[in-house]
Amino acid sequence: MKRFTWFNAVSLTLGFAFLYIPMLILIIYSFNSSKLVTVWAGFSTKWYISLFSNDAFIDAAWVTLKVGFISSCAATVLGTMIAYIMVRGGRFFGRGLFSSMIYAPLVMPEVITGLSLLLLFISIGLDRGVFTIILAHTTFSMCYVSVVVSSRLASFDVSIEEAALDLGCTPFDAFKSVTLPIIAPAVVSGWLLAFTLSLDDLVIASFASGPSSTTLPIKIYSSVRLGVSPEINALSTIMIAIVTFGVLTSSIISKRAIKRQRLEEEQAFKNG
């Protein structure tokens, strides 16, 4: 029975066009030499040049990368710990509260998360800046990391870990040499997710940042509110290119890793 019909083909084509045409237009018009964004006046890379000579954008980009890198590393460590506790930790005092605190940030509107963190920083007298943005981003992205990692943890066999413990590993050694390599792909994609969430965040960063620490989304938002500008198109194109490259590479790497793992398992099965 043939399943794929002309209706399917049309809806996929229209759907993908809807998803990609806005971004394609954005990319094409970043190479437009006219200042009017909607009128094509010939190919030019001058907006990229003016973007790179704009110190405000470069500074904001550095702040964003710094915040993204540090907060996603911290979130990956904490999120993996959370996943391990939730999947393997058994019962402990306050588990219910803990699990609801992990899921709440996923559904909490950003305006509320941002507002509550800002009020905290003010009431403990912490000056707002890069550090407070890192704290805020770590807090919400560790929850996403824990979701990604715990689904991987829940799907693999506990008996491998138990075997390691029986063979004399300490729990920490067992975690390091058995569990960690198995969940590594999930940890990596958790890190990537945390990093992109941090790069993307406007609302929480606006609440948590001080006057001296502007991130790229804050900068983009404040200039976009005044209208469309070719410099922002150029910046968007660069960001889209980086993300596309990152996502495609990581998906190819993880696909290869899974294939290799499967081959090794088959080999071990044959030899054993």
Partner 1 sequence: MNFRKYLFILVPYSWLLLLFLVPFIIVVKMSLSDTEMAIPPYTPYFTLSQGWQGIVDFFSQLDFENYIFLAEDNLYWKAYLSSLKIALISTTFTLLIGYPIAYGMANAAPEWRPTLMMIIILPFWTSFLIRIYAWMGILSQEGFLNQFLLWTGIIDQPLTILNTNIAVYIGIVYTYLPFMILPIYASLEKLDISLLEAAKDLGCNRSQSFWLITMPLSKAGIIAGCFLVFIPVLGEFVIPSLLGGADTLMIGTILWQEFFANRDWPVASAVAVVLLLLLMIPIILFQRSEQKQREAEQ
- For partner 1, the binding residues in 175-234 under the rule CB under 8 A are 196, 199-200, 202-203, 207, 217, 220-221, 224-225, 227-228, 232-233
CB of 172 to partner 1, least distance (A): 7
Task: Kindly give, in sequence order, each residue whose CB lies less than 8 Å from that of residue 140, ignoring residues fewer than 6 positions away.
Answer: 105, 108, 113, 197, 204
Q: Please list every residue from 236 through 265 that binds partner 1, using CB under 8 A.
A: 236, 239-240, 243-244, 246-248, 251
Cα–Cα–Cα angle for 67, 73, 74, rounded to 5 degrees: 90
Smaller CB distance to partner 1: residue 54 or 229? Answer: 229
Segment 75 to 134, residues that bind partner 1, using CB under 8 A: 78-79, 81-82, 84-85, 89, 92, 94, 98, 101-102, 104-105, 107-112, 115-117, 119-120, 122-123
Burial (Cβ within 10 Å: 0-12, 13-18, ≥19) of residue 72: buried
The total of other beta-carbon atoms located within 10 Å of residue 208's CB is 29
> For partner 1, which residue of 38, 53, 159, 271 counts as binding (CB under 8 A)?
38
Minimum distance from CB of 152 to partner 1 (Å)?
17
User: Which DSSP letter does residue 53 get?
Assistant: T
**Tokens read off for 61:** 């980009």
Only one of the segments 11-19, 41-49, 53-61, 154-162 lies at the binding site for partner 1 (rule: CB under 8 A); that segment is 11-19
Residue with Cβ nearer partner 1 (84 or 191): 84
Q: Could you give the CA distance from residue 205 to residue 192 in angstroms, rounded to a whole number?
A: 19
Q: Which of residues 47-76 bind partner 1 (CB under 8 A)?
A: none
Q: For residue 43, give the 3-state DSSP assignment.
A: strand
In the structure encoding, which two tokens stand for residue 216, read together?
């790229």
Please pick, from the candidates 139, 150, 179, 214, the single residue that binds partner 1 as defined by CB under 8 A: 139
CB 31, CB 43: distance < 8 Å:
yes
